[in-house]
Amino acid sequence: MSIGNSPEDERPFEDDREEARPSIGRALQQARITAGLTVDDVTNATRVRLPIVHAIEADDFAPCGGDVYARGHIRTLARAVGIDPAPLLAQYDAAHGGRPEPTAPAPLFEAERIRPERRGPNWTAAMVAAIVAVVGFVGFTAFRGGDAEGDAKTQVAEGSTPATSNTASPTPAKPNDPEPDPTDSAIAAAPQDKVTVRVSAVDGRSWISAKDHNGRLLFDGLLRQGESKTFQDSEKINLVLGDAGAIQLYVNGKKIDEDWQPGAVERLTYTKGDPQAG
């Protein structure tokens, strides 16, 4: 009979490190305290509600609403207090039957196969479209009317004769009446009871301004080379030529021969009869 330890005595001691390892909640609480954080600090940093943080630190995961949410909260809290979440997640999976299986993709697409609900006609949209169409038509009509009125005013400023109504009895045109766009021959036949001035940009462009005897502005703008403007009034026409050297004038049917220099600004006034600049 040998003297010594029995086989039972020679068995290795069981590793009690698992029992010494703190729980998930205890580990998170200790890490939070070590980091100098309160539960309110962790809640504000992670957006995890205060009751859930208290429950997890007490190892109560029921308020999380399921394993997926519990694992997410553990990971978020661990990172907030500065520890590795992997060991805590492994500890949670071991205590709760392993990591949850991913959700099968098929049910996620079942909602797409649902037949959409049939809807009746959208009468509100139809009424809005009709109102927009009516407003657009009225605006377009008003805009066209404004253009026509503007064209009529332009023709009068240039010395044109307004057209007579279709219902009026036709009257023979006077031989001395100017045409809407007077030519040289029309200028030569200018009426004696009015002052008629035609401005032509023959050697370049020039800014011009024309007013009648009441000071009403007939034209104020740029006259490009090759363009002409004709003005008529019962008493006088006041002109300002921005570049007189580029302008040729016909006043009361006569050509004005003036040696104006390029770039010279001329202020002129013409009345009825022989053209003499005032």
Architecture in CATH of 184-271: Sandwich (2.60)
Query: Distance (Å, rounded) from C-alpha 94 to C-alpha 81?
Result: 23
Name which CATH class applies to 20-95: mainly alpha
Within the chain, which residue ranges are assigned CATH 1.10.260.40?
20-95
- CATH 2.60.40 positions along the chain are 184-271
Q: Render pLDDT for 52-111 as a digit per residue (tens, 0 to 9).
A: 999 999 999 999 989 999 999 999 999 999 999 999 999 999 988 766 555 555 444 444
Amino acid at site 209: S
Q: How far apart are CA 200 and CA 230, in angstroms?
A: 9
By CB atoms closer than 10 A (0-12, 13-18, 19+), residue 33 is exposed
Query: Taking every pair of C-alpha atoms in the chain, what is the biggest distance, in angstroms?
Result: 162
DSSP for residue 112: G
pLDDT at position 191 is: 80
Rounded to the nearest integer, the mean pLDDT of the chain is: 77
pTM of the model: 0.34
Q: Could you report the per-residue pLDDT of 258-268, keeping only the tens digit for each?
A: 888 888 899 99
